[in-house]
Structure 1
Amino acid sequence: MIPYPQALKALPSTPGGYSLRVEPRHPAFDGHFPGQPILSGLIQVDWAARLGQDTFGPLGTFQGVEHLKFQAPIRPDEPLELHLDWTPDARQLRFRYTGSQGPKSAGILVFTPAP
């Protein structure tokens, strides 16, 4: 499990909102890619799912991802915001990463109730 960045803060006025900045030496950049580091999509999805559970409580059993879009790479030390929206009836967690230049990635994580 890749740790969260040190500069991760909840946005107090926005439930499910976070500001973050991934430091250049963060292990999330290991191997992605030498000389041109970017934050992998898998880590973006993982952080969204884990922060969703931290924010909204148990989400259930992960089933998959829908409408996943990677619009621009996330680079080291780039200021970002992550917005999460949990729809309990649909068992869906929507996530959206944005940077100063606009959208970075977005998608919907789908869950089923835990047994």
Structure 2
Amino acid sequence: MSPHNMASEAQVCFNFQVSSDHPSLAGHFPGNPIVPGVVILSRIIEGYLATFAARPCLQGIPRVKFLQPLLPDCDLAVTCTVRGNKVQFEGVIADEPCVRGVIQFLLGTFTGESA
């Protein structure tokens, strides 16, 4: 997706898992680990930005709601719908909502080449 197409509506879909040996899980929570929200949001943003040759600058996350815990090694299917400079996202586990929210980017501002 070209960064110039952010103004039109488009969808980006991807899946990810957080491995049970991820360093954040040792303290969140010992004996009953769940993936921290900040790790989930980071993976969603990374997955979305992977579709760009040049990365738009993150402006903020004005809304996010965690609906159920994400367990280690569990597959999260993410759908991002782009509307202007806002990206609405939803992550589901086995067709059940886990997380949803909005990420906002600065249009026309890019941080360079993606890896």
- TM norm structure 1: 0.72
Aligned residue in 2 for 1:42: 38
Aligned residue in 1 for 2:69: 73
* Whole-Å separation in 1 of the counterparts to 2:55 and 2:87: 8
* Whole-Å separation in 2 of the counterparts to 1:65 and 1:73: 19
* Contact 2:86-2:102 at 8 Å conserved across structures: yes
How do 1:26-105 residues align onto structure 2 when only pairs under 5 Å count? Answer: 26-87=22-83, 90-100=84-94, 102-105=96-99
* Whole-Å separation in 2 of the counterparts to 1:101 and 1:32: 25
Aligned-residue RMSD, C-alpha: 2.0
Unaligned runs of 5+ residues in structure 2 are: 1-10, 111-115
Aligned residue in 2 for 1:21: 17
Deviations 1:42-88 (A, max 9, x none): 1111111121111244452212112310000001122321112222x
Distance 1:85 1:60, change over 3 A: same
Q: List 4+ stretches of structure 1 deviating above 6 A.
A: none
* Whole-Å separation in 1 of the counterparts to 2:17 and 2:88: 20
Unaligned runs of 5+ residues in structure 1 are: 1-14
Identity in percent: 25
Larger radius of gyration: 2
Which residue type is aligned with residue 56 of structure 2? Answer: G
- The higher-RCO structure (CA 8 Å, 6+ apart) is 2
Give the structure with the higher percent strand. Answer: 2
Tell me, what secondary structure is at the counterpart of 2:27? coil
Range with greater deviation from structure 2 (47-56 or 15-24): 15-24
> Alpha-carbon deviation of 1:28?
4.0
